[in-house]
Amino acid sequence: MRTREHQATASRAVQGIPGTATAGGTDGVVEPASILRRVLARGDDEGPAGGALREMSVSVWTGTTGVLSDGCTARLGASCLLRPSPGDRVLIWSGDDRRNWVLSVLLRTADDATALLATPGPLAIEAPRVGISAGAVHIVSEDFLTSTRNRHAVEETRTETARVRVARIGTDIRRVNTADDAIEGTFLQRAGTWISNTAREARLRARTFLFD
């Protein structure tokens, strides 16, 4: 508990600061103080009903709402992108409207617990450059769209599995040491002009060969 002297000092600290004007101000308009200023001015004695910060643990959490260890429900603040998990310690703001908001996750249940960044709406990242460094990257999406001017990839091994693959390419240039195509069904090619240059030997083996 704060002493009366500390509360008086905190109250004097917020007087005259923009955003804390009272009805006796020059414009006669009452402006709400910020959360931090209200906590400093009121102290801890008024409890959650008067607006206060407190630390709690999470019992159950689903989506953007959950239940705290004291049985109260809380919602995720818009700026807290890390979704809490049961057992996490969180910072709660209990406002004048008796609603509880999770401002941040202070401590996870385990250091290696999965950190889930979640928002109820679309999420966009805007930056001059974005870098990702990870042992493995796993993307699960209904639709995956990339739009780039230049794409560069350096890979040791590349494996693709697709039911249907459609590629529209203006110019396709490939330089490979060995190319091995195994086609179990039908291989169909249509070309306006077909030019094949073989340095040493060209072999074609087929049970039936038709040239028209």
Q: pLDDT tens, 19-78?
A: 444 444 445 544 555 655 665 555 544 444 456 888 999 999 998 999 999 999 999 999
- pTM for the structure as a whole: 0.58
For residues 212 and 194, give the distance between their C-alpha atoms in angstroms, rounded to a whole number.
14
The torsion angle over the Cα atoms of residues 9, 13, 19 and 24, rounded to 10 degrees, is 70
Over 50: is that where the pLDDT of 6 sits? Answer: no
CATH domain 47-122 topology: OB fold (Dihydrolipoamide Acetyltransferase, E2P) (2.40.50)
Over 90: is that where the pLDDT of 107 sits? Answer: yes
pLDDT of residue 46: 47
pLDDT of residue 36: 57
Work out the pLDDT band at 202, boundaries 50, 70, 90: confident
| Torsional sign, CA 37, 41, 44, 46 | negative
Which tens digit of pLDDT belongs to each residue from 131-171?
Answer: 999 999 999 999 999 999 999 999 999 999 999 999 999 99
Over 60: is that where the pLDDT of 7 sits? Answer: no
Q: What percent of the chain clears pLDDT 70, i.e. is strictly above it?
A: 76
For residues 22 and 96, give the distance between their C-alpha atoms in angstroms, rounded to a whole number.
18
Over 70: is that where the pLDDT of 128 sits? Answer: yes
Contacts of 58 (CB under 8 A, 6+ apart): 66, 67, 68, 69, 84, 85, 86, 87, 88, 89, 90
Q: Which residue intervals of the chain bear CATH 2.40.50.140?
A: 47-122
The torsion angle over the Cα atoms of residues 109, 114, 115 and 120, rounded to 10 degrees, is -110
100-107 and 73-76 beta bridge pairing: parallel
Residues in the chain: 212
| Torsional sign, CA 26, 30, 31, 36 | positive
For residues 67 and 60, give the distance between their C-alpha atoms in angstroms, rounded to a whole number.
5
Q: Where are the alpha helices (DSSP H) in the chain?
A: 4-14, 35-42
Which tens digit of pLDDT belongs to each residue from 160-186?
Answer: 999 999 999 999 998 999 988 888 888
